[in-house]
Structure 1
């Protein structure tokens, strides 16, 4: 049995794509996922499955959400190792007196090239900063996540990937939850 973390993008945001977590849990259990647990209403779902391929797990979840709830919801599935690497490799944590409330991580659906940061043209969004590591983009929003144009839609358009962003506190809580499984 493999534990996967499915990160759903764009559910329960400003009244759009509303899905109750208990209904989502029941739906995923009905198609064979085990030990299903959710964290907060923004679409963080742990599932255990005999399927080891994260992309297949994501496809099954996306397909079932559309079938049951009628919402087209992008899903990025990651493993414990990816979340642990996210914690170890965040370059902004090395800064003295960093305000973790300004840190975010964009998880993306495909491995990124090292020069992808150039494709993002992050310099247009100064003072916000970003750094790329494998299938993650570490972001430090200086002006605030709600006020920047450097968001998941921009990342998806520039890099042709599916992306979903989590704040650093959520990342830390998900890592803790992985450890408790």
Structure 2
């Protein structure tokens, strides 16, 4: 068993409602232990059996089967979350304006070049490995850049958490 922080993309927004209590139960049914969630936005911390990618895909399938919507499951170890936080390349004036988008895979150089053609205004982003780091000048609620268009250009699914949430998830995973 390995401790993982599992991040689900776009749950509890619009019609994709996923109660966190049920998410914990599904994870346990898949063999996870020491299962907990943090806030209602698809943050799961658990010791997972076997290969993490196998668990992530099984979790996606279980959620889709029960709730009728597909949402990517992207997991990292606590050490990987710490490394992503430490690698954040932008000055952090306000942690809730700075994000790490955890990606399923590293985007190709061609995809990054395409994404770099989009205007960002005062917002900034950078790819480091399998993470997209973002700093919104005025917060995610008032972005100057078209984050969704950039993500589509990268051709890799991801899910973002602000730096406050990333720090909290690390703290919870460490115990």
TM-score, with structure 1 as normaliser:
0.87
**Match in the other structure for 1:8:** 8
**Match in the other structure for 1:59:** 57
What is the CA–CA distance in structure 2 between the aligned matches of 1:100 and 1:9, rounded to whole Å? 20
Aligned mate of 1:164, from 140, 159, 162: 159
Please list every run of 5 or more consecutive structure 1 residues that lacks an aligned counterpart in the other structure: none
Q: Contact 1:28–1:36 at 8 Å: present in 2 too?
A: yes
- Determine which structure has greater relative contact order: mean sequence separation of CA pairs < 8 Å that are 6+ residues apart, divided by chain length: 2
Judged with a 3 Å threshold, the aligned counterparts in structure 2 of structure 1 residues 18 and 29 are, in CA distance, closer, same or farther, namely same
1:26 CA displacement: 1.2
**Match in the other structure for 2:142:** 147
1:16 CA displacement: 2.1
1:112 CA displacement: 3.6
**Match in the other structure for 2:29:** 30
Is structure 2 residue 93 aligned with structure 1 residue 101? no
1:116 CA displacement: 5.4
TM-score, with structure 2 as normaliser:
0.90
**Match in the other structure for 2:69:** 71
Q: Contact 2:108–2:154 at 8 Å: present in 1 too?
A: no
What is the CA–CA distance in structure 2 between the aligned matches of 1:122 and 1:48, rounded to whole Å? 40
Judged with a 3 Å threshold, the aligned counterparts in structure 2 of structure 1 residues 155 and 37 are, in CA distance, closer, same or farther, namely farther
The alignment of Structure 1 onto Structure 2 pairs a total of residues equal to 174
RMSD value over aligned CA atoms? 1.9
What is the CA–CA distance in structure 1 between the aligned matches of 2:95 and 2:15, rounded to whole Å? 28
1:123 CA displacement: 5.5
Judged with a 3 Å threshold, the aligned counterparts in structure 2 of structure 1 residues 160 and 113 are, in CA distance, closer, same or farther, namely closer
